[in-house]
Amino acid sequence: MHLDHTDTIHPERHSASAARPDGSRRALRVGLGGPVGSGKTATVAALCRTLRDRLSLAVVTNDIYTREDAAFLLREAVLPPERITAVETGACPHTAIRDDISANLEAVEDLEEDIGPLDVVLVESGGDNLTATFSKGLVDVQIFVIDVAGGDDIPRKGGPGVTTADLLVVNKTDLAPYVGSDLAGMARDAQEQRGELPVLFQSLRGEPGVGPVADWVREQLSAWTATAVLPA
Amino acid sequence: MTTTATAPQGTAGVSARARITAVPDGRGGTALPLLSGGGPVALRRTRSADPSAARVTLVGAMSAPLRGDRLAVEVRAEAGAALRVDGSAATLALPGRTAEPARYDVRLEAGEGGLLHWLPEPLISVSGSDLRQQLRAELAPGARLVVRDEQVLGRTGEEPGRLSSRLTVRRAGRPLLDQQLDFGPGAPGWDGGAALGGHRAVGQLLVVDPAWDREPPRARVLGETAVVTPLAGPAVLVTALAPDALQLRRVLDSALTFTSW
Amino acid sequence: MSVATLLLLADGRFPAGGHAHSGGVEAAVRAGRVQDAASLEEFCRSRLHTAGLTSAALASAAAAGHDPLALDEAADARTPSPALRRTARRLGRQLMRAARATWPDPELDALAAARPKGAHQPVVLGLVARSAGLGPLEAAHAAAYESVGGAATAAVRLLGLDPLDATAVLARLAAETDEVARQAEAASSKAVEDLPAASAPLLEITAEQHATWSVRLFAS
């Protein structure tokens, strides 16, 4: 009765298969990681405000302490409360987004099941460290958010987040003059670390705000709907 | 009266069984066609505050059970009957002449529309005693039940004896609650931070009411060491720890406010 | 029986969601009942012989081939706290997901279909052990070990306890953990209603308190 029966069909997804149980295509899952205070939650909030009129969105937060980021998003009313879920991480967001993604998978699947078809689920990691990256079993693309005030040497230092994220966002460019950060140098260092992978500089306090990042998410969604193959 | 002074081999203990059966008396009250005490368990029909219910008080249980004793109480509230059983004094589990543990088995049954209160006084586990207590209740789907179960571990300032107590409730033939508590010498970990954490009185109050099939009461925290929890069926359990019997009773009584009956 | 399979199943890194749960340690730390290695050991010992024994017996019985739905019902009756029932089902579902990918088996599919919101974790654990080719004793070992392993890890994070001290606590409890597993296995051939039902009053009480906290590190 054990491993002999490998020919059985197992309809439930174990991780990131593109199909929902009913055979429809699931939402694109976008991970957002980065150090504490770099503006991940603010970026999520801005993305929601920008994209929510045209797309069906939901957010999963992974906090160090329970529900802090989820509570912020709820207060800001960026989405209806039923579209925001907090995953508790036992003080280790990086474990919950990379090593043991089961609670996050439950959360994204439950959102799709409870709310209906979604276009994009944003999965935000609690601010952890520079090495925190999302498992490919959890998200389809990931954004790493750093900020100019956290030190303009972060792109040079590299690390898996800076080096491998599908998009690197350098946030709070409006602060650069005050903290003496060298934006051109950061861009150079980032390109050296990342090669062809894109880097966007962002200030949520002025124009164009989150626009370029939102455009990037839309492009990813188009690519996802065009190429994500559903099992026959 | 069913008492044998020399029952199961090798033990010098008492073997006794008390039985109560309650039925509707046809006039809106409850009759007791069977009321039979046994050995140290004496039964008295006492005055009931509720005219529809019969009341029986367990009396004279002060000195029992000793090691080696085997005591049993069987209580049935048949369909439509209302019975309240309470106690006149605490029960002491005492050391005896044998190494054999004492056994105390309580069987409760309530039929359709029946109402049964089992509200004995606390059990005190005296140093050197060894008691295995079991309470099993079988309920019809439409029966109501209140069970209070209080244990005090040792008399003031003494270490407790060995006490094992299991509370099993089945409703409509399915398990509703199954809890075993083990204390004292030979029960590892009983006083640790997941179990008693130094408290010397522990109690449970169970209320089963089929009316909660639709909407169970919500969980409620009653201070640092007591909680009201809705079970997976139409029932709530109050679990409480306290330094002593008096404070334990105060908490359990304060929780008994979710029924109007 | 493959020892490596047992080690894999019992490994704290097995991705089944356990890392986010403290097994009641977070509440015990807040109440001052766990503050150092000695009190952690007492906490773990009482957890092992109560909730641990009950879980190990359920897991062992599931591995022995008892009806998992009857065991799931028995687990409900043994878990008065709704917060603990929710936790057990959530962890059961997460374990089910990981196990169906690692040890595919129609028995797991059947339980997953019958309990889409998750069966109690010890029941799933026992069935997973069975699917992985392990027996009732191994299932009991995995459950008994897990009943203290997660708590010790959580104490390290919550108290900044020296991880070597926390690991030494688990080492000192090893013989008792084995003994609990043996007791559970010995009970696993009994009728479901006669399985151990050892309860831990403080775990039940504090689980409900913990569930109301707005700021906490662990989900339970």
Closest chain C residue to the Cα of B218, Cα to Cα: C82
- DSSP assigned state of A150: G
Indicate the residue of A2, A6, A88 with minimum beta-carbon distance to C20: A88
Q: Does C165 touch chain B (CB under 8 A)?
A: no
Chain B residues within 8 A of C45 when measuring between CB atoms = 188-189, 192
First to last CA, chain A: 28
Which residue, B115, B13, B10, is CA-closest to B69?
B13
- Average pLDDT over chain A, rounded to an integer: 87
Contact with chain C for residue B172, Cβ under 8 A: no
DSSP letters spanning C3-43: HHHHHHHH-TTSSSSGGG--TTHHHHHHTTS--SHHHHHHH
Give residues 96 to 155 of C whose Cβ lies within 8 Å of B: none
Backbone phi, then psi, for A169, in 5-degree steps? Answer: -110, 125
3 state DSSP class of A220:
helix
Over residues A145-159, the pLDDT tens digits come to 999 988 888 898 888
Nearest residue in B to C51, CA atom: B194
**Residue found under tokens 């059966």:** B21
Instruction: Report residue C215's pLDDT band, with 50, 70 and 90 as the boundaries.
Output: confident
Interface contact C19-A95, CB threshold 8 A: yes
Say how far apart CA C40 and CA C32 lie, in whole Å. Answer: 11
Judging contact as 3 or more Cβ pairs under 8 Å, the answer for C and A is: yes
- Cis peptide preceding A208, ω within 30 of 0: yes
DSSP letter at A211 equals H
Residue B258: is its pLDDT beyond 80? no
Q: What are the structural domain ranges in chain B?
A: 13-255
How many CB pairs (< 8 A) connect B and C? Answer: 127
pLDDT in tens, C4-21: 999 999 998 899 999 999
Binned at pLDDT 50, 70 and 90, residue A14 comes out as low
Collapse the DSSP code of A60 into the 3-class scheme (helix H, G, I; strand E, B; otherwise coil) and give the result: strand
Mean pLDDT of B103-122: 96
CB pairs under 8 A between A and C: 97
Cβ within 8 Å of residue A54, ≥6 positions away: none
Residue C10 lies in a domain: no
Report whether pLDDT(A230) > 70.
no
Q: What whole-number distance in Å separates Cα of residue C210 and Cα of residue A135?
A: 30
Is C45 in CB contact (< 8 Å) with chain B? yes
Q: May I ask the CATH class of domain A24-226? A: alpha beta
Quote the ipTM score: 0.96
Please state which of the ranges B7-16, C61-70, C128-137 shows the lowest mean pLDDT: B7-16
Widest pairwise Cα distance in chain B: 53
Position A186 pLDDT exceeds 70 = yes
Residue C117 lies in a domain: yes
Q: For chain C, how long is the longest CA-to-CA vector?
A: 46
Confidence at B110, pLDDT banded by 50, 70, 90: very high
3-class DSSP state of A10: coil
- pLDDT above 70 covers a percentage of chain B that reads 92
Per-residue three-class SS string for chain B: CEEECCCCCCCCCCEEEEEEEEEECCCCCEEEEEEECECCEEEEEECCCCCCCEEEEEECCCCCCECCCEEEEEEEECCCCEEEEEECCCEEEECCCCCCCEEEEEEEEECCCCEEEEECCCEEECCCCEEEEEEEEEECCCCEEEEEEEEEECCCCCCCCEEEEEEEEEECCEEEEEEEEEECCCCCCCCCCCCCCCCCEEEEEEEECHHHHCCCCCCEECCCCEEEEECCCCEEEEEEEECCHHHHHHHHHHHCCCCCC
Please give the structure tokens belonging to residue C96: 């089910």
- Distance CA(A47)–CA(A59), nearest Å, equals 11
Query: pLDDT at position A158, please?
Result: 85
Domain ranges of chain A: 24-226
In the numeric block, which tokens belong to residue C78? 């043994």
Give chain A's count of helices (H) and strands (E): 9, 7
- List the single residue in A2, A67, A103 with the smallest CB-CB distance to C17: A103
- Rounded-to-integer distance, Cα C32 and Cα C27, Å: 9
pTM for the predicted model, two decimal places:
0.90
Query: Does residue A17 surpass a pLDDT of 80?
Result: no
Would you call C140 exposed, middle or buried from its count of C-beta atoms within 10 A (0-12, 13-18, 19+)? buried
Contact predicate B133/B165, CB 8 Å: yes
pLDDT of res. A9? 37
Mean pLDDT confidence for B92-121: 93
Q: Is residue C3 situated within a structural domain?
A: no
Alpha-carbon distance of B124 to B129, in angstroms, equals 10
User: Mean pLDDT score of chain C, rounded to an integer?
Assistant: 96
Residues of C in contact with B225 (CB under 8 A): 202, 205
Query: Which residue has tokens 């069906």?
Result: A56
Cα dist from B191 to B166, C43, C173, whole Å: 17, 9, 16
Residue B8 has pLDDT above 50, yes or no: no
Nearest-10 crossing angle of helices C106-114, C121-131: 160
Domain, as residue range, for C128? 39-202
Domains in chain C, number = 1
pLDDT score of B63 more than 60:
no
User: What are the chain A neighbours of C94 within 8 Å (beta carbons)?
Assistant: 102-103, 106
Please report the pLDDT score of residue C28 as a whole number: 97
pLDDT at B54: 97
Burial status of residue A12 (CB atoms within 10 A of its CB: 0-12, 13-18, 19 or more): middle
Q: Which residues contact C52 (CB under 8 A, 6 or more apart)?
A: C143, C144, C147, C148, C177, C180
